Structure 1
Amino acid sequence: MTIWEMLAVFVAGTCAGTINAMVGSGTLITFPVLLATGMPPVTATVSNALGLIPGAVSGAIGYRAELTGQRRRVMRLGAAAVCGGLCGAILLVSLPSTAFETIVPILVSLALVLVILQPRLSKAVQRRRERKNVITKTDGGPLLIGGVLTASIYGGYFTAAQGIIYMSLMGMLIDEEMQRLNAVKNVLAAVVNAIAALFFLFVAHFDWTAVVLIAVGSAIGGQIGAKVGRRLSPAVLRGLIVVVGTVAIVQLLTR
């Protein structure tokens, strides 16, 4: 890797850490850069997953104020994220790349539709609960846990846009502020990256130079993203999710 390639990877890591803290999909920045250096796709995916851990942790720390009072929710959803992340990591080293990537654009598209419709759907769900005197579950119930498990399997496999999927699921099934959900999203992403990375350390090949460069850059970007993201209104945050997700779909379809 040349000095210019190293600089490009570092900058990509910083940008990825920033965008991951705010909405997710930072992998769509780092992954193409790693491929451009001549790195094989699976090696790039593994190196990227390892490098983004500090960024995910940094973003979660930046949102620590919004995590107040969400311990039980994080623990329940985090358990699903651990199981899903490990399953996704196993799939990455076991299956051909085309097997899972075929449905990625569909998953991201569905997530974006849910994000756009979330305010109306949430109000409709709330009205239905009020009519039937159903108490809202603070953890989203089995449906959200199952959704997080599925999204985490995908996250352990590729990671791109998993944050968008988390946000759409939680926005639909939990009556909570967007910023507080974003804080939970950052924790879940950190959990999935960490559990997948631990698995990769023992069974997959990765590039330590790329890992270190992305790790340092994403840690810096995580703090930047948290400071900027926490100031965004729910409408702006939702709009940013849609924009980033749309770019993600286009890139996944044309990659």
Structure 2
Amino acid sequence: MTGFEAAVIVAAGLFAGGINSVVGSGTLITFPVLLALGYPPVVANVSNGIGLVPGSVGGAVGYRRELKGQAGRLVRFGMVTAVGAVCGALLLLVLPPGAFEAVVPALIVVALVLVLLQPLIARRLAERGPDRHPHGGIPLLFGVFGTAVYGGYFGAAQGVILLALMGILVDDSLQRLNGVKNVLAAIANLTSGVVFVFAAEVDWAVVGLLAGGSTIGGLIGARVGRRLRPFWLRAAIVVVGTVAIVQLLIR
């Protein structure tokens, strides 16, 4: 690895960490960069997932104020996320390349539509009174599990999908849910990373460079994201998600 390549990886990690804290989809920056530098897809995917863990942790730390009072929610969703991420990591090891990537654009489109309609849907659900669950109920548990499976496998736009689901099914502010999203993303990457350490090839130099860049980016991104009003945070989600769709379709 040359010095230039190392600098490119650090820069990609920096931007990915920042985007992950605010919205998600940082993988859509780092993964293509690693492929362009000549890393095999599976090695790039595995090393990328592990390398972005510190960035997600940094984002979660930056949202620590919004996470207050959410311990029960984090434990509940965190356990489901860990199980789902293990399943996703195992799928990556046994399924042919690209098995999930074919449906990724469709998943992101659905997530973006849900994000746009979230205020209207949440208002309608609130009118139903008792049917509105403070923690999202069983439907959200299944949604978190499915998103974690996807996150363990590939993870691009995992945060967009999570925010869409939680924004509709949970009666809470988008900023507080964004903090939860950062914690769950860290759990998904860390859990799947443990599987990959024992069962797949990891480029630890890439992991170290991404970790350094994404940690700084995560902290910076959290400072920016926490100041965004719900409208602008929702707009950022839609913009990043749209770019993600285009990038996946033309890749």
TM tier, smaller? over 0.9
Asked if 1:27 corresponds to 2:53, the answer is no
Gaps of 5+ in 1: none
Greater shift, 92-101 or 63-72, is seen at 92-101
Q: Residues 33-182 of structure 1 correspond to what in structure 2 (within 5 A)?
A: 33-129=33-129, 134=130, 136-182=132-178
Shift of 1:128: 2.2
Greater shift, 234-243 or 205-214, is seen at 205-214
Q: Percent identity?
A: 56
Question: Are the aligned partners of 1:76 and 1:139 in contact in 2 as well (CA < 8 Å)?
Answer: no
Partners in 2 of 1:25 and 1:12 — Cα distance? 12
Q: Deviations over 1:208-245 (max 9, x none)?
A: 11110000000000100010100000000000000000
Shift of 1:160: 0.7
Question: Are the aligned partners of 2:118 and 2:168 in contact in 1 as well (CA < 8 Å)?
Answer: yes
Shift of 1:206: 1.5
Partners in 1 of 2:62 and 2:131 — Cα distance? 31
Q: Given the two structures, how large is their TM-score scaled by the length of structure 2?
A: 0.99
Shift of 1:135: 5.5
Question: Are the aligned partners of 1:50 and 1:193 in contact in 2 as well (CA < 8 Å)?
Answer: yes
Secondary structure of the structure 2 residue equivalent to 1:101: coil
Question: Are the aligned partners of 1:11 and 1:217 in contact in 2 as well (CA < 8 Å)?
Answer: yes
Shift of 1:49: 0.5
1:146 aligned partner, one-letter code: F
Secondary structure of the structure 2 residue equivalent to 1:193: helix
1:41 aligned partner, one-letter code: P
Q: Deviations over 1:67-104 (max 9, x none)?
A: 00111111111111011100000011110122111111
Secondary structure of the structure 2 residue equivalent to 1:151: helix
Equivalenced residue count is 251
Partners in 1 of 2:109 and 2:133 — Cα distance? 26
2:132 aligned partner, one-letter code: T
Question: Are the aligned partners of 2:20 and 2:159 in contact in 1 as well (CA < 8 Å)?
Answer: yes
Q: Given the two structures, how large is their TM-score scaled by the length of structure 1?
A: 0.97
Tell me what 2:234 maps to: 238
- List structure 1 segments (4+ residues) > 3 angstroms apart after TM superposition: none
Gaps of 5+ in 2: none
Question: Are the aligned partners of 1:161 and 1:245 in contact in 2 as well (CA < 8 Å)?
Answer: yes
Aligned equivalent of 1:202, options 192, 198, 201 = 198
What RMSD in Å do the two structures reach over aligned CA positions? Answer: 0.8
Question: Are the aligned partners of 1:46 and 1:197 in contact in 2 as well (CA < 8 Å)?
Answer: yes
Q: Deviations over 1:163-204 (max 9, x none)?
A: 000000000101111100000000000000010000000000
Partners in 2 of 1:209 and 1:78 — Cα distance? 28
Asked if 1:214 corresponds to 2:210, the answer is yes
Question: Are the aligned partners of 2:14 and 2:216 in contact in 1 as well (CA < 8 Å)?
Answer: yes
